[in-house]
Structure 1
Amino acid sequence: MIPLTSILYAASGNDERKSGGLRQALRLCRDSNTPLTVVQICPDVPEKHAPLQNRFMDFLEDELHDSLASVRKELDIPEQTVRARIVVRQQAGTPPAISLIRMVIDEEYGLLVKDAEAVEGGRGFKGTDMTLLRKCPCPVWLARNTAHAGPPVRLAVAIDPESREPGERELSLNLLRTAGSLARGFEGELSVVSCWEYEFERFLRYKSWVNISEEELRMNAEDIRKDLLGEIERLVHESEIAVDRRIHHMRGRPEDLIPEFTEQHKTDLLIMGTLARTGIPGFLIGNTAENILEKTSCSLLALKPEGFVSPVRPE
């Protein structure tokens, strides 16, 4: 579960009245009785216009107040229901992603929400978004326009039933619990997605000195499929998610099948983990996770394992 003690929404500098991320942040705050902070990282004005910096920041703050009021009215979320504050910070030569991560660390936010940056073709993430996915210690929600018209909200959670490193099983349980909580809150449809492969099949099939029949290969693959499906079912049971869900256990590479699944099923939100070293400074986003991200076209909620330490240091 995401510890929603407070939520940080990172404004893009565009018209926030059209922001799916701001709407989502307000709904989450309402449903969890959580305060909201809206932050705008203000770009540095050219040196010759330095006296205008404060006026520019005041202008951005006024724009955010107007946008927030407009979205509140649309969603019928009055000020007394969700407490919110607006912060405008000067970039001061620091990349926006680093400023946001430092704010998360300093003020201990439980979730960072922002609109995904526009990318050519609508797939993948870039720049600031990738830095946040790699280095931000709290969960990151990157919002895109809904993939289909109307309710119910369609959620997919990607899990790996094979625990190769400490913390991976706990991450899978956290992903399932988070997905279940969101599906219940949204009254949405939840799909549990996992992929499997018989890694030694090609080796066994094409080595002439390996005496194994097609039937034995098929039975070996089926045993692996059943074992992994059984572990998925145990994880789902242990997570105690109290919503209807469908398990999709697909044979093939997750970096191909998971983005394909989200497109075919018009998924609104993909919930997945990023593998990272735990307990030491630094990050290592998993190759599989990074390849999935490159092809993802829906909104994304990314969680890191317990104990992840961001390489970004407080100011």
Structure 2
Amino acid sequence: MKEYKKLLVVVDPTSDTQPALARAVELATRNQASITVFLSIFDFSYEMTSILSGQEREAMRQGVIAQRQAWIDEVVEHYSTSEVTIESEVIWHNRPFESIIQYAISNEFDLIVKGTHEHDKLKSVIFTPTDWHLMRKSPVPVLLVKEHDWPVAGKILCAINVGSEDEDHISLNSKIVEHAKDLAKRFDAQVHLVNGYPGTPVNLAIELPDFDAHTYSETIRMQHEERVCELALTLGISTDNCHVKEGLPEDVIPDVAKKLDAELVILGTVGRTGFSAALIGNTAEHVIDSINCDLLAIKPDGYKSPLDES
């Protein structure tokens, strides 16, 4: 597995605290990695000022960039340690997610780290459109961070799919667990596996009077348990840490994460775009609204982002 040696941290210019940068420093300290703090800014009013020449507009943009750069320098100073190298980059771009992904690809970063927004009143997490675009379109793993610590001997939960024998899904399962094992080794954490399996189709029970729903459900459960345990044994995970539950993944994963009090959920995202994405949706996008811990989204090997200009 490729280690996290180069971390790209997306800072939040609206917040006094930067949980993503704090988490990145933790990771970098354990991985001897470097960090680049990244901010994408844009102000449409500067582009529409017709009374100014192109040169004057560019000077104004550079002035804004310089102001933000000075702010980032103050932020970096607060989080800096003697063990971690932190650089910074401010870019003028009208679509933040595009600038993040393109910068991460062109500079060969191993991980994108970004904080999520917390709603003060209800303490619920609000995932921005940028978060969703990053999960769908970034070939680089994306870590979405909440404001909490990763304690020693914590729990990392891997969401795996054993309902498909497709080679891409099988290799993605292994990739997810390998990422978890590497992080677990550095944080002395436990790795757990979770899998949701479908319940008995209602139409079968209605249309077939002799249909044995209980036997059907037990057969599906045993198949999934066997596959999960087989994967666990192959990858060196204790079968005691396997959780197989009936239900949709977007319901099962948050439920198990809450019961385990997991610090991190790792899952694969297939990167659907266009009509199929709108129609089918993505498990990751349903899960993130329901978990109260960090989320690491990983793409299958060979995934090419629509934003990859190379």
| TM-score of the two chains, using structure 2 as the length reference | 0.84
Counterpart among 131, 134, 137 of residue 132 in structure 1: 134
Cα displacement (A) at 1:188: 2.4
Aligned partners of 1:149 and 1:271: how far apart in 2?
A: 14
Query: How is 1:48-67 mapped onto 2 (pairs within 5 angstroms)?
Result: 50=57, 51-67=59-75
Counterpart among 276, 296, 305 of residue 301 in structure 1: 296
Cα displacement (A) at 1:281: 11
Q: Deviations over 1:128-164 (max 9, x none)?
A: 1111111111110010112x89654332111111224
Cα displacement (A) at 1:104: 1.4
* CA shift in 2, pair 1:149/1:174, >3 Å: closer
- Contact 2:20 / 2:114 at 8 angstroms: preserved in 1? yes
Secondary structure of the corresponding residue to residue 306 of structure 1: coil
Aligned partners of 1:244 and 1:124: how far apart in 2?
A: 34
- Contact 1:45 / 1:53 at 8 angstroms: preserved in 2? no
Amino acid of the structure 1 residue aligned with 2:301: E
Other-structure match for 2:108:
108
Cα displacement (A) at 1:100: 0.6
- Contact 2:9 / 2:37 at 8 angstroms: preserved in 1? yes
* CA shift in 2, pair 1:42/1:288, >3 Å: closer
**Sequence identity (%):** 24
The reply on whether 1:221 has 2:222 as its aligned counterpart is no
Secondary structure of the corresponding residue to residue 222 of structure 2: helix
* CA shift in 2, pair 1:43/1:212, >3 Å: closer
Cα displacement (A) at 1:27: 1.8
Cα displacement (A) at 1:3: 4.0
* CA shift in 2, pair 1:210/1:283, >3 Å: closer
Secondary structure of the corresponding residue to residue 60 of structure 1: helix
- Contact 1:283 / 1:309 at 8 angstroms: preserved in 2? no
Aligned partners of 2:107 and 2:11: how far apart in 1?
A: 17
Q: CA-atom RMSD, angstroms?
A: 3.0
* CA shift in 2, pair 1:308/1:149, >3 Å: closer
- Contact 2:152 / 2:187 at 8 angstroms: preserved in 1? no
* CA shift in 2, pair 1:160/1:149, >3 Å: closer
Counterpart among 219, 229, 232 of residue 228 in structure 2: 232
- Contact 2:136 / 2:270 at 8 angstroms: preserved in 1? no
- Contact 1:155 / 1:188 at 8 angstroms: preserved in 2? yes
Where structure 1 has 5 or more consecutive residues not aligned to the other structure, the ranges are none
- Contact 1:276 / 1:305 at 8 angstroms: preserved in 2? no
Aligned partners of 2:229 and 2:84: how far apart in 1?
A: 37
Counterpart among 52, 67, 78 of residue 70 in structure 1: 78
Query: How is 1:190-205 mapped onto 2 (pairs within 5 angstroms)?
Result: 190-200=191-201, 202-205=202-205
Other-structure match for 1:37:
36
| TM-score of the two chains, using structure 1 as the length reference | 0.82
- Contact 1:140 / 1:303 at 8 angstroms: preserved in 2? yes
* CA shift in 2, pair 1:245/1:102, >3 Å: farther
Aligned partners of 1:163 and 1:171: how far apart in 2?
A: 11
* CA shift in 2, pair 1:118/1:314, >3 Å: farther
* CA shift in 2, pair 1:8/1:283, >3 Å: farther
